[in-house]
Structure 1
Amino acid sequence: MKQDSAEPHQLHRVLGPWMATAIVIGTVIGSGVFKKAQPISQGIPQVGLALCAWVLVGFLTLMGALALAEVAIVHPKAGGNYVFLRESYGRMFGFLWGWVELWFIRAASVAALAWIFAESCSDVIDALFRVSPEPVVGILGKYAITIGVIVLLGALNARGTLLGGRIQVIITAVKVFSLVGIAVIPLILFLIGYQGEGAPKLDRLYPLFPESFSWAQLSGFGAAMVGILWAYDGWMNIAPIAGEVTNPSRNLPRAAVAGVLTLIALYVTVNLAYYLTIPVMDIVNLPKDRMTAGEYAMRIFGSVGLMLASICLMISVLGALNGNQLVGPRLLFAMGQDELVPGILCRIHPRYNTPANAGVTLSVISIVIVLAGSYIKPNGKALFDVITDFSMFGAISFGCLAVGSIFVVRKRFPVATHPLPYRCPGYPLPPVLYIVFMIGVIANMFVTQQNEAVAGVILIAVGGLIYFAIFRNKPVAVQRPA
């Protein structure tokens, strides 16, 4: 291949350690920490056990990050898990990950987050300008905001990876400070002796644990972990942009570990603040249109608190959206290089040096899911929770395969003969712990979330049929530099 024809397919390393860490934190912290306390409390009504679940999932995420960082150093290319699975298990597994990731993990996440942003934006507008019982922003207005924010962030990230990275650092800093504020407010109120409705009370934390454990309780614990996994989902997002991170052998593992440790600290302290302020059964019985963070802020600050919580949620979701639309197109870029999607998707914009065509495609698919979602009427479960639980089946399944690819890396690149700047500490314990626990969560989904699990299996099977029908006998494309 001529050198000049390869230029349109190369990305530049422009993301430093702070931007890489901000992408990990910013794409993970979205709506989960603001909304998931209710479904988690429904499955785990004991505060101590619920907090242990947040710590456990965080610990498992850290174990996965320690393992995946080594794989990313060996394959520091755009595409992330797609590249890891392709190189470790073959092209079919890479295709299946791309199929599930594009349609029902990445695009569904963008759609769900954009809708939550629109709802929060509408709440803020109503709080500021509402003068009648009718909301200022109607349903059509919410759809317009949802589609508008997807288009806006897609366009900004198409104009430059460095621009998207800088936006991510700014938004991530704001959302981290807002979550720190939520976490420390009960401590401040306790120190000043505040006695109002939102005054923190230690007795709200009891009972910490159930008196005895049953299979139903363990199953409920596993179901609640799916919601917590959504809150942590995105920790692998450093991998798809590995080809654009400076000094990847040093910055990739540092960003992954620092990001996950920050997430654990924020999630545990914020949820502790919720439980100190709101009795757990009040959280369980919250109306479906009331997020836990909103109830928390309203009990402390009154009606203005709900608006403040909505603003915090808007900022947080905006950061997650930006991170997803920065990272997501790299999958299509890598698949385009392998001719598993139209080659136009791996073309780089001649001026901005971004996979702009892939970004437009992701935005369009996300908008289609938003519009299709208006026809979904789930019974007894919020649409947001249906979408997130559904997307988590594929994310957990292929996440296990991605983390497990470290075993293939160790076989191909033994420690004794292939010195690397980073190796997973404690190997093989971290990847084994991660995979074993995640397999248990997947198995439990077939008991507690059968519709989502079965739909996930059908989706993967359809992807397999498409691969065998179209790509099985297709020659492997010549790999272009990533």
Structure 2
Amino acid sequence: MKAPAPDATLTRGLTLVPTAAIVIAVVIGTGVFVKARVMTCNVGSPGAVLAVYGLAGALTLFGALAYAELATMMPRAGGAYNYLGAAFGRRWAFLYGWMETFVGNGAGLAALAILFVVFLNDLVGGALAPWAVRLLPLAVLGVVVALNLTSVRASGRMATVLTAAKVALVLGIGMGAFWLGDGSWAHFGQTGAAAACADVPSRARFGVAGFGAAMIGALWSYNGWQYMVGVAGEVRRPSWTLPRALVGATVLIVALYVLINAAYFYVLPPEAVAAVSPASSVAREVAVRFLGAGAASAMAAGLVMSSFGTLYTSVLTTSRIPFAMAADGLLPAPLARISPRTRVPRNAVLLAGALGVVFAASGTFEILSDLFVFATLLFQGLTVGALFVLRRQRPEAERPVRTWGYPVVPALYLLAVGFLLVNTLVATPGRALAGLGLIALGLPVYAHYAHRLPPDDPADWLGDEPAADEPQAVAPHPRAVPDPEPVL
């Protein structure tokens, strides 16, 4: 099943700080700055919004704990593609890669590139010409791709710088609101139920449906943590680094999100939060309250930087999925080629950028992004489900890290994901079924590649090689790159 190892190999150049920085840079994009408005409309009160963010954060942490075990079992490029293949077979692994590469990644990168230009236009006071607004997303995608063609060490350093700026932005708004804002703790006892809530459907307000919609919004703000395992094949000492980066970064993000959302409601009453224009952001309105009119430009600059950081690290992490698929013969072989100079999968990076350009130019990314949410939840649930399958089927496999609280913690994660999938199917059945349709479109593509491959063997997916932290005693998996000597 596995393709021969390429002449050049990936290099394990990511240590703890840049690995954790990649998690934070992918996750903290724009959602936390804008979602409070819709979530207040969904659940009504500040306390409920904070509770949803805390619950969604706990759910994200539960998922990260499960991914940590799987990632240290199979510390390879492609992340969940490997785990699904080991547990459920080649077909499900392909369908995951199909969705992430050709739908989610392309549409997601297009959306981020366009948001970058929207925020840039706000920063320059709307001075960009219409042609520039249309062409600049394509240009920024080109810049991001070019930066991702440098070495993974350089990418890690860039991610660290961008992450430091993102954390500073969230802390600046959150702490500045409490220190400088003329707010009131009385706001936390009020409700935003009477707000008009533009563009929020009435069926997504209050009750179980409102709670589910708010959870989807919060999880969208947390989305992206799972993509870091895509670069597991380039992480140094993965059994030590991966769990610390995943869990540590997730805990930090939850704390930052609760802080900044509490700051929003300290400065603005919930009815004012719910009434913020969809064309603006809650973070901007709050910053203007305690910094004055100049805060609008500062906030626009912060959102430009934040969207660029998420775009940059998204290309870094998701490009490793088509690389892994091509190494297994499930996509064209050139996508598995690695640059002998920079040791990055250059063709896979170029593919990610090209898909982003196509979606940005076509304008279809918004529809596909909405449809992709259901598929994302489905595959996240399947990935955590893979933990149970592999514990049962391969109990002898080496597990450098074991999921804390197993089986309760991953089971709670699966129950929550199941609730959200059902809620999405009931609330927006058209989008959910269309998301399943997009998954099904990958089946004929899978058949085209799979018929030329030998029968699927679970042992190939699990690897049967020693952990990447230890000296290699047998021939390594094509994507299992030995570590350099540990650097203390």
TM > 0.5: yes
CA deviation map 1:180-221 (0-9, x unaligned)? 1111112212xxxxxxxx5111122223799xxx99511111
> Which residue does 2:197 correspond to in 1?
none
Alpha-carbon distance, 1:23 to partner: 0.8
Q: d(CA) in 1 for partners of 2:303 and 2:217? A: 17
Sort the Cα spacing of 1:296 and 1:72 in 2 relative to 1 into closer, same or farther, 3 A. same
Residue in structure 1 matched with residue 97 of structure 2 by the alignment: 98
Shift of 1:480: 2.7
Q: Normalising by the residue count of structure 1, what TM-score does the alignment of the two structures yield?
A: 0.88
| SS of the residue 2:136 aligns to | helix
TM-score norm. by structure 2 comes to 0.87
The residue that corresponds to 1:279 in the other structure is 269
Match of 1:261 in 2: 251
* Aligned with 1:159 (options 146, 150, 175): 150
- Contact 2:8/2:343 (CA < 8 Å) preserved in 1? no
CA contact (8 A) 1:18 1:169 kept: yes
Pair 1:260–1:34, CA change in 2 (3 A)? same
The answer to whether the Cα contact below 8 Å between 2:330 and 2:449 also exists between their aligned partners in 1 is no
The CA distance in 2 between the partners of 1:203 and 1:387, in whole Å, is: 41
The aligned counterpart of 2:474 is none
1:24, distance to aligned residue in structure 2 (A): 0.9
Note closer, same or farther for the CA distance 1:330–1:469 as it changes in structure 2 (3 Å cut): closer
> Equivalent of 2:429, from 450, 456, 460?
450
> Which amino acid in structure 2 is aligned with residue 467 of structure 1?
Y
Instruction: Give yes or no for contact 2:27–2:310 (8 Å, CA) kept in 1.
Output: yes
User: What are the equivalent positions in structure 2 for 1:3-42 lying under 5 Å apart?
Assistant: 6-8=5-7, 10-42=9-41
Residues of 1 paired with 2:106 and 2:170: CA distance? 26
Runs of 4+ off more than 4 Å:
476-479
Judged with a 3 Å threshold, the aligned counterparts in structure 2 of structure 1 residues 470 and 338 are, in CA distance, closer, same or farther, namely: closer
Is the 2:95–2:443 contact (alpha carbons within 8 Å) kept by the matching residues of 1?
A: yes
Structure 1 position 20, deviation (Å): 0.8
In structure 2, what is the equivalent of residue 380 of structure 1? none
* Equivalent in the alignment of 1:192: none
Secondary structure of 1:239's partner?
helix
Which residue of 159, 169, 173 corresponds with 1:178?
169
The alpha carbon displacement at 1:151 in A equals 0.8
Greater CA deviation, 251-260 or 97-106? 97-106
* Counterpart AA for 1:71: L
Alpha carbons 2:192, 2:274 under 8 Å: kept: no
1:469: how far off?
5.5
Q: Which amino acid aligns with 2:404?
A: P
Superposed displacement of residue 429, structure 1: 1.0
1:130-279 aligned at under 5 Å gives the runs 135-189=126-180, 198-207=181-190, 217-279=207-269
Q: Which residues of 2 match residues 420-431 of structure 1 at below 5 A?
A: 420-431=399-410
Cα distance, 1:73 vs structure 2: 0.8
8 A Cα contact 1:35 1:292, kept in partner: yes
How high is the sequence identity, in percent, across the aligned residues?
34
Tell me, yes or no, if structure 1 residue 393 matches structure 2 residue 364.
Answer: no
- Specify which of 436, 439, 450 is matched with residue 471 of structure 1: 450
Alignment-derived partner of residue 346 in structure 2? 356
Instruction: Give the deviation of 1:165 after TM superposition.
Output: 0.9
The CA deviation at 1:472 is 4.9
What CA deviation, in whole Å up to 9, does each residue of 1:72-123 have, x standing for no partner? 1111110001111111110000010011111232222211111111111111
Unaligned runs of 5+ in 1: 127-134, 190-197, 377-382
- Asked whether the 8 Å contact 2:26–2:314 carries over to 1, the reply is yes
One-letter code aligned to 1:435 = L
Letter in 1 for 2:190: P
| Contact kept in structure 1, 2:30 and 2:307, CA below 8 Å | yes
Aligned-partner Cα distance in 1 for 2:347–2:294: 42
Deviation at 1:139, TM superposition (A): 3.0
- Distance in 1 separating the partners of 2:236 and 2:418: 34
Q: CA RMSD in A?
A: 2.3
Q: Matches of 2:327 and 2:455 in 1, distance apart? A: 10
Q: Alpha carbons of 1:209 and 1:68: their partners in 2 closer, same or farther (altered >3 Å)?
A: farther
1:405 CA displacement: 1.1
Asked whether the equivalents of residues 67 and 424 of structure 1 are also in contact (C-alpha less than 8 Å), the reply is: yes
CA 1:444 to 1:152, structure 2 compared with 1: closer, same or farther past 3 Å? same
Deviation for aligned residue 1:235: 0.9
| Deviation of 1:8 (Å) | 3.2
Partner of 1:132: none
